[in-house]
Every structure is written in C-alpha cells, then in structure tokens.
Structure 1
Amino acid sequence: MSRKSWTVFWLAALLLLFVFNGSLLITDSVESNYALTAKEMVVSGDWLSPQIYGQYWFDKPVFFYWLTALGFKIFGFTEFAARFFPSCFGLAGLGLLIWGAKKLFDDKTAFYSGLVLLTSVEFFLISKSVITDAILFFFFSAVLLFFYLGYSTPQKKYYYVMYAGAALATLTKGPIGFLLPGLIIFLFLAVTKSWQEVKQMKLCSGTLLFLIIGLPWYLAMISLHGDAFTKTFLGTHNLLRATVSEHPRDNVIYYYTLVNILALFPWSGFLPQCLWQKFRKQGSWQRPDDLTVFLLLWAAIVFVFFQNMATKYITYTYPLLFPAALLLGRYLAVKGSRVFSRGYLLFHGLFYAVLAGAVYWCRFKGIAPVQDEFLVLLTALAGLGLVYAVKSCNKKYLTAAVAAMALFFNLAMIPTVAVPLSGLRSGKQLALQLQNKYPEKAEIGLYGEYPTSAVFYSGKKLVKLLPQDEIEGFKPKAFSWSSKNVMPYAELKSYAGVKDNVVVVQRKALQGFMDNADTYLLLAGENKGWYIVQG
C-alpha cells in the first residue's frame, strides 16, 4: 500500500478515536464507577488501593484506574481526560494489529485488517468508553500475537513479550488476563501436537517476568486488606460473575451471536464465506494451515468461553475482533472486489437505512434527545450512493468505499446520537444544579436509581435512601451481588424527617417516596427527571 493510503488511514483513526471525546458525558452505571474511583485516587493520594465513596473498592485490578487517574492529573477532571487513555489504547491496538499482520502476512493484508478493525462498530464504541476493554484488548492480543510469533519463528525472545502482556492483562482485568490466553495456547498446542515447543517457551524466566510485573500489587492488597480483598475481588467479581448471572435476562444462547454480528459490522456479512473458503478448496475439504487454526481457535474459544459464563456483558467477547480482523483482512486482500455480492450490498444498504430510520423515529417519538437526525439520514444516503457508484464505475475501490461509508456514518452518529444519549444517561446536569443551589451542603439524600456520575461531577456525598424493609437486603454481603452496594445509605423516613435536609427524588420513584417518607417536604426544584425536595 502507498504511503498516502497509510497517511489517510492514520488521520482517519485519530479523527474517529479522539473527536468529540470532551463532549461525551460520563454515563451511568459503568463509566461513572471507573471515573469516580480514579478521581478519588487522585484526591486521596492513595494510588494503591482503589476507593469509591470513600470506601475500598475491589471490583477490578488497579491498572485502568492508574491510567484514568493519570489522565485526570494531566487534563483535570474532564470527560476528555477520562476517555484519553481508552482512545490511546484503541490506537495502540490498531497499531498492534497492523504490525502483526505485516509480520504474519504482508502489507496489503495489514491495511485491510486495519480497515476492518477501525471501521467496525465495537472498536469505535469501546475505544471511546471509560471501561477496561480497550486496554485489555491490547494486552490480551499482545499475549497471543507474540506467542505465535515465538512459535512460528526462530526469535524465541518474542515469548518474553507474551509473559509481560499476560502480566499487564492480569493487572487490568484479573485472572482472565492469563487464564484465557493460556487456554487458547494450550488447545492450539494440543490440536497441532506441538508439545515440543513448550521447551522453547522460556517457562522459568518468562514466569519470573510475569510474577515480577503482575504479582506485587496483588500481594500488597492481600497484605493490606486480607479477606476483604480476596472474598470481594476473587469471590464476587470473578467466581460469582462466572456462576451466577448478574443480568439473567441476557443469559440466552444467541446473545453473543447477535452481539458479534453488530460488533463486526459492516464486515460481519463476509464471515460465513471467509470461513467456508478456509476449509474448502477446489471442491474438497482441507485442513487449514497452523496460522489459520490459531486465529480460528482464538476467536472461537473467546466466544464459547464467555457464552458459557453466567454473567454476560456486550464487551466481553471484544478480544475476538483481533483474529477476526486478521482473517477478514486476509480474505479481502486476496479476493478483492469479488467478495461484494449483490446480496451483501443489499444487506449493507438496508442496515444503514434501518439505523438512520431508527434515529429519526427516536426523535419523532421523543424516546431519546437525538439532534440533527437529518444529518444522519443524509450521511447514510450519501454513503450508500458512494458505494453503489463505485460498484458501477470501478469495483476495485469497493472495500475503500464501504470502509469510508462506515467511518463517516460513525462520525455523524457521535454528535447527533452519542452525545445527546450520554446526556440522557448522565447525572451531570443534576450535579451542576446541586452545586449551584446548595454550594454549602456536602451531603444530600437521594431516592431512586443511584447516579454515580452525579457524585463524580458534584463532589458531594449522595446518600441512598431506602425504606426500612429494604435495608437488610441492600447491605453488602460476601459472595453476593449486594457486595457492590458500597455507596452511603440511610433509612428514608428518619433522613427525610430532619429539618433542612435536601433530598433528590427520581420522578418515577416519587410515589414510592411519598408513601414511605411519611413527612411533608417542600418542592425546591426539578431537573431532567429528578425532583429536589427540602424539609
């Protein structure tokens, strides 16, 4: 590929990953937990033991909190700061993919693999989100990429990078950072009957490197916090998550199938024929080469592993995008425009038309505060026109046209859909009102869903209020999802009965509040679904 092509590619990547990051508010309930924990790390000066609401918080290892806290130290407590390192690691993951594709295949495959990852829906979303997955993606992918480079080349020093990556993945997400890549490597060695390679894998020195990087923080936490750390971190956030569903409605067999069809769009339509040609050649079945076997195992084991976990999150299978992008990039590089059947282009066009229609419908129905919906419609129509024009004039540019369509559509969705939706799922406006109206009050009661983002933005202590009969079930208990309830809480009736106490009540919970508060309160204000009342 030409230098000009690569220059355009990296400029597009920078634009997609960093544009509007300062306009996307910190949302509840996931992003705000990470952001508030990192903020308290900076404010408290304790960079060892993560805290939230002034309480020790053992849901994740420390590495992502360090990065987010560092972002806050550099840029202040802003949205851009919180999203800075996820975007940086999104860019790093893209660079790792391209570098790996050049090592494993060639420059053309690297370019197409990069296009697939850059323009896929999930890469775009996760690389702009205040969550651990962009960082895990980079280290998880590095473990497996450098394993295969060590396995397939005489350069056995690659294995040291594998061990270092596993240690940093473990500091980012926990035991899954080395257990799941280890399972993939084990099964690959079993399938290919390559056990002799174990002797070359620097087991002793590599394991020592892994322990030097990954173990000290865990030992420090066990020394400082003992059972409180091991029971919460290993018990609740690892063992319980794997065996007891946190969101039972998502525990269905097709969950990750649907997730990954969307995650890889607009390239997911090529997966069936890509996989088919890996196993069929000239009308007969064939065994794929070792590299293809490794990439297929990588993707399949990630998919099956998380499909069989009780708790499911959309982002869990994100690591399979790395091998999927390599497989699809190679397929596109070899087959070229021949992969674009009429059926695929029709599916491609219908999908964007449905997305654009959904945006307009949300605006029309008042379901979400979507802005400039006509920009989304115009982008979709212009992009579809571009794809079909290229198909008619010069088919060899079809891949670039589809990628450009995805890129511009994603960019159009940020200000028109993502920014207003982040406002809908954030407590920032409530926090600013509380700051302006009650600057002297450090503590405010809250009844309804708990917006951690309001704590992040306001710096105030928000006390969750509960009826007397709900308090016992709410108290945090070991090996239970209630262990996540570490925010301050109080009994509703006694708190609301204190003169001059300010209480924020969620609009949909107002009737329950009136039924349980058993006291008269004066309405003091209203903000986007929240009432502010005062005794």
Structure 2
Amino acid sequence: MKIMRNGLLLLVLFALYYLIPLEFRHLWQPDETRYAEISREMLVNGNWVVPHFFDLRYFEKPIAGYWINNLSQLIFGHNNFAVRFGSVFSITLTALLVYWLTLRVWRDRATALMAGVIFLTSLLVYGIGTYAVLDPMITLWLVAAMCSYWLAVEAPTTGKKVLAWLLMGFACGMGFMTKGFLALAVPVVAILPWAIQQKRFKELLTFGPLAVVGAAAISAPWAIAIARQAPDFWHYFFWVEHIQRFAEANAQHKAPFWYYLPVLILGCLPWLALLPGALRNGWRDRRESSGSFYLLCWVVMPLLFFSIAKGKLPTYILPCFAPLAALLARQAMQLMAVNGRALKVNGWINLVFGLICTIVVVGFLAPWGVAKHSVYGHHEVLKVALAGGAFLLWGICGLITLKSPTQRWSWAALCPLALALVVGQAIPDHVMDSKQPQQFIHGMRNEIAPSRFVLANNPGIASGLAWELRRSDILLYDQPGEVQYGLSYPDAQGRLIKGSDFAQWLEQYRREGSVTLVMLLSRTEDNPDADVPKADFSYRQGRLVMYQYKQTP
C-alpha cells in the first residue's frame, strides 16, 4: 500500500512539474518558436530528411531532434504542449536511465529512486526539460551511451558485451543525428579516464570499433540521404557549426572558461549542499567503488570539454546532471545514516535562497521597489504576488526540511514546484513583449492573417508569425539572422527585403495584396515610424510594432 501511495504521489508531482504547465506558457523566441516551426514545416511538406525554416534550407542542426518534435506534434497537434512534449519525453526517459544505472551501481532502490527525483527537480534540468530545445534529446542519447557502456562492463559473456557495445554505438549515432559530432566526442572524453584507471584501456580498443559500427549503421541512411538532397550540408555543418563554434575567435555565445561554475551551482538547487560531498566521494571512492568514479568522470570530463569550447550556453552541460544526480542521491543516503549536517545546510540554503529571491522581487523588481527602473509595471501587482509567493514557498519548503533534516530532506523536491506552476503567469509584460511574441501575434491574428505578404525584422518574430499563422512564406525584413545561409541559395532570392529597398518593394508588391510588417524594436529605438513608409494602420505593444499597408490598385 505504501509503495502504491508513494508511486501515485510521484506521478502527481511529475504531472505538476512537467505536464500541466506546458500549455499555459507562451513560446519563447528564438528557440521555441524556431523548433516549433521547423517541425510544423516538416509535417506539412513531408520532407523528414532536410530541415527547412520558412521554406529555406536550415543546416544548423541534424535531424533526429526534429523527428521527436515531429512525432509530438503529429500526436498532440498544433499547440504549445506538443512543442514542448518532445523535451519532456526525452528528460523522462533520461530519468528512468538514471534510476537504472544508479540501481546497477549501488544495488539500492531507495538511492536509485532519489537519483531520478533529484535529476527531475534540479533547477537546470527542469528549466531546460520543459523548454523546446534539442538539449534534452542529446542528453537522452548521451546518458543512454553512459548506461550502455556500463552494461558492457558488467556483461557476463562476450555475446552480451558485443550487444552492449553496439547499443552504445546506436545511442551515439542517434546523438550525432540530434546535435552533431559532440555526441561522439563526449563519451570518449568521459570514458577514457575511467578505462585507464580501471586498466580497461585494452578492452576499450578491442570493442570500441563495435560502437563505431553501431553509430555508422544507425546514422548512415540519413547521412547519405541528406548528402544526396543537399550536397553542401556536411561542409556547412562541420566547419561552421562545429569548428567555428568550438574553437574559432568568432564563435557564437563566447564566454570565459569558468562560465559553467555558477551554472552548475545554481542548476543544482534545491540540492546544492550535497554537491561538494558528492564530488569528493566520487573521487575518494574511485578504488573501492568503480561506479562512483565512473559517474564522476561523466560529470567532470564533459564539463571541462564544454568549458574549453569558446561558445557556451547553460543548456550545453545538461548531460552532466544525470550522473551528478546519482552521486547526489548516494551522498544524501550516506548522510542519513551518519549525520544530517549537510542535509541541514541544504535546508538553510533553500530557506535563504527563497527569502532573498522574495525580497528581490517584492523590494526591487516591483513597481514600488527601490530599483531605479522596476521590472514590473504598476498594473502587474498580481504578477509580483505570484513571483514573490513562489519564491516564498521555496523558502518555506526549506524551512520544513530544517525541522527534521534526516527525515524530511527529500521534501526539498517541492521547493521549485510553485515556481514551476506560476512562472508563465509571472513574467513581466515587457519581457513577454520582446521574448514571447505569441501573445502579441495571437491577439492580432485576425488583422495579420489576411495579408498577402507578411514580413518580420527578426527570425524569432518571423517564426512566431509562421507558427501562429501556419504559413511558412514569412519574409525577412533587413536582418537575415540565423537563416543567412539558407537565403544564399538562388531559389531563396526575394525572401530578404533590405530596409533601404522596402519603400520601392512595397510600392510594387502591395498591388498584389495587403502587406503586414512586424518589428521587434531595440531597447533604445523610440521612433520606428521614421524608418518605414507611412502605414495605413499601426499598432504597438512594448517593443513589438505592427505596420499594415492596404492593397493598392
């Protein structure tokens, strides 16, 4: 009965964290609107080989992540839940793999279960796991590779060892088709130190080629198909998306080497106090418990790998949190049996974090706050209450764990729950106006939809228009952004309208039908009307402005 009750409680918490909020948050640009639209276009045109964005070739990522999103939209339809469910599905399978590997390493179901719970409730995992990007998918495949190698290590027979290596290759191949060559590099970087320490390097060389065979077998059909349909894909994808992003001076999202340290610390909340001991024990037990050191290698080595790269984003280290969750769970279980000092510290961290964030929201970000420029407007009192209340409940959950740290430490899993449920309704209007164009577009849909031509000065806004209007013929105004390469093809001529040419273009093409231009203004742009021809109708909401030009005879 107790097992059934606990299982039902976990399912309810999972639904509250990962399912219910999905539909009630507007899509963010540029990421969520981009991946929503690319998958929508794949379903419409039936081409599941070459990704297209506004009917332009889009070579920034391979195909497998889109396939998961395609299936989600195919099953659940054209809605925000479907856009994000691919990420949730991937994170859920990853959590099950974390449970499996933790159970295989330490043979303790309670530790394995807590590893899955810690993984799903870690702030970075939840934040990215309910967000429509490809990082949850690549995390799934990298963790599958991590589990497959451990399966190979424990295999009692040569036949089972061969199958495990092939399974690892399958996971790496799917990872390669999701986000590229890093899915092949990260497992090598993570496994090599452990194999050397365990004196398994010869075995790695002997069976490693099987993983290469497995990866090639699963990825070759698509790799050949896209080479035939888009011969320049591999040149662009390898040199621009890998070499430049990883090593060259002009890499996107440049950040210092230490960038991921604060990301790791904040991402571990609400389990932060367990982090030092978990990492220390993983190293200390490297001889007595090879599994602990194996998990540590999968945390530290990929973290160093991504830190060396010039281009950095918080989402890149999401795979590190799967093995880290297992180490954190092991540390917590050991503390329960010895002393609860670190568990008590964890409660204090959550209490202080919740109170500080509450004070920041209510005392600084609110319209009556002491900050020079408040984040919330005077009409957003309810949003201030929701945000402040969510962080206050975080602190209260931390306080509850302090009452009996060794018995209630796991209640920390409830700390982010209120934030997860209300974050979509607590975002300030000025952030929504610039980062969530879905609300603006949905409100103006009846005015925009009849337009013969629709233009946007930002690919993120353009993808929001395409998704909401269910049309891929959105034109780019003045800024090509991330679709610059797709616009270079001869059959894409005319899809980018330069600002200096817009008046002349408008005079010619409005004869064919009405024209709508949607622009995302810069923070310092006060008079955008001076840059475009006088419109028949205009509407502005925050940094978003719409201009409409009626058809002329």
TM-score by length of 2: 0.84
SS at match of 1:201: helix
Contact 1:20–1:415 (8 Å) recurs in 2? no
Counterpart in 1 of 2:280? 276
When structure 1 is superposed on structure 2, of 234-243 and 414-423 the one drifting more is 414-423
Counterpart in 2 of 1:36? 37
- In structure 1, how many angstroms separate the alpha carbons of the residues matched to 2:441 and 2:385? 32
Aligned counterpart in structure 2 of residue 401 of structure 1, from 407, 411, 416: 411
- In structure 2, how many angstroms separate the alpha carbons of the residues matched to 1:474 and 1:26? 18
CA deviation string 1:345-400 (max 9, x = no partner): 333211112223333343432448684433444454455445434533x4432222
Aligned counterpart in structure 1 of residue 467 of structure 2, from 456, 468, 473: 456
Counterpart in 2 of 1:150? 152
Contact 1:26–1:422 (8 Å) recurs in 2? no
Is 2:402 aligned against 1:391? yes
Matches within 5 A, 1:291-440: 291-336=291-336, 338-340=340-342, 343-360=345-362, 361-364=364-367, 365-367=374-376, 371-392=382-403, 394-417=404-427, 425-433=435-443, 435-440=445-450
Counterpart in 2 of 1:263? 267
The RMSD of aligned alpha carbons is: 3.3
When residues 107 and 434 of structure 1 are mapped into structure 2, their CA distance, relative to the original with a 3 A threshold, is same
When structure 1 is superposed on structure 2, of 149-158 and 505-514 the one drifting more is 505-514
When residues 371 and 305 of structure 1 are mapped into structure 2, their CA distance, relative to the original with a 3 A threshold, is farther
When residues 213 and 261 of structure 1 are mapped into structure 2, their CA distance, relative to the original with a 3 A threshold, is same
- In structure 2, how many angstroms separate the alpha carbons of the residues matched to 1:232 and 1:132? 19
- In structure 2, how many angstroms separate the alpha carbons of the residues matched to 1:312 and 1:391? 36
When residues 423 and 160 of structure 1 are mapped into structure 2, their CA distance, relative to the original with a 3 A threshold, is farther
Matches within 5 A, 1:135-174: 135-154=137-156, 155-156=160-161, 157-174=163-180
CA deviation string 1:273-299 (max 9, x = no partner): 333345559xxxx85632222111111
Is 2:225 aligned against 1:220? yes
SS at match of 1:254: helix
When structure 1 is superposed on structure 2, of 191-200 and 161-170 the one drifting more is 191-200
Matches within 5 A, 1:227-266: 227=232, 229-244=233-248, 250-266=254-270
- Unpaired runs of at least 5, structure 1: none
- In structure 1, how many angstroms separate the alpha carbons of the residues matched to 2:84 and 2:135? 12
- In structure 2, how many angstroms separate the alpha carbons of the residues matched to 1:93 and 1:389? 29
When residues 166 and 11 of structure 1 are mapped into structure 2, their CA distance, relative to the original with a 3 A threshold, is same
**1:268 Cα deviation from its structure 2 partner:** 2.3
When structure 1 is superposed on structure 2, of 314-323 and 167-176 the one drifting more is 167-176
- Unpaired runs of at least 5, structure 2: 368-373
- In structure 2, how many angstroms separate the alpha carbons of the residues matched to 1:244 and 1:231? 16
- In structure 2, how many angstroms separate the alpha carbons of the residues matched to 1:153 and 1:311? 38
Calculate percent identity across the aligned residue pairs: 18
Contact 2:172–2:184 (8 Å) recurs in 1? yes
**1:82 Cα deviation from its structure 2 partner:** 0.7
SS at match of 2:257: coil
When residues 486 and 196 of structure 1 are mapped into structure 2, their CA distance, relative to the original with a 3 A threshold, is farther
CA deviation string 1:401-432 (max 9, x = no partner): 22223334433435434999666512223433
- In structure 2, how many angstroms separate the alpha carbons of the residues matched to 1:111 and 1:9? 10
Contact 2:384–2:426 (8 Å) recurs in 1? yes
Matches within 5 A, 1:105-184: 105=106, 106-154=108-156, 155-156=160-161, 157-184=163-190
Contact 2:42–2:52 (8 Å) recurs in 1? yes
Contact 2:28–2:435 (8 Å) recurs in 1? yes
Aligned counterpart in structure 1 of residue 451 of structure 2, from 420, 441, 454: 441
When structure 1 is superposed on structure 2, of 166-175 and 395-404 the one drifting more is 395-404
- In structure 2, how many angstroms separate the alpha carbons of the residues matched to 1:315 and 1:83? 15
SS at match of 1:444: strand
CA deviation string 1:194-245 (max 9, x = no partner): 12423773744x5433222111101111122112x02221121111111236
TM-score by length of 1: 0.87
CA deviation string 1:97-136 (max 9, x = no partner): 1122112111121122122112110111111111111111
The one-letter amino acid paired with 1:374 is A
How many residue pairs are counted as aligned between the two chains? 520
The one-letter amino acid paired with 2:176 is T
- In structure 2, how many angstroms separate the alpha carbons of the residues matched to 1:376 and 1:450? 26
Counterpart in 2 of 1:488? 495
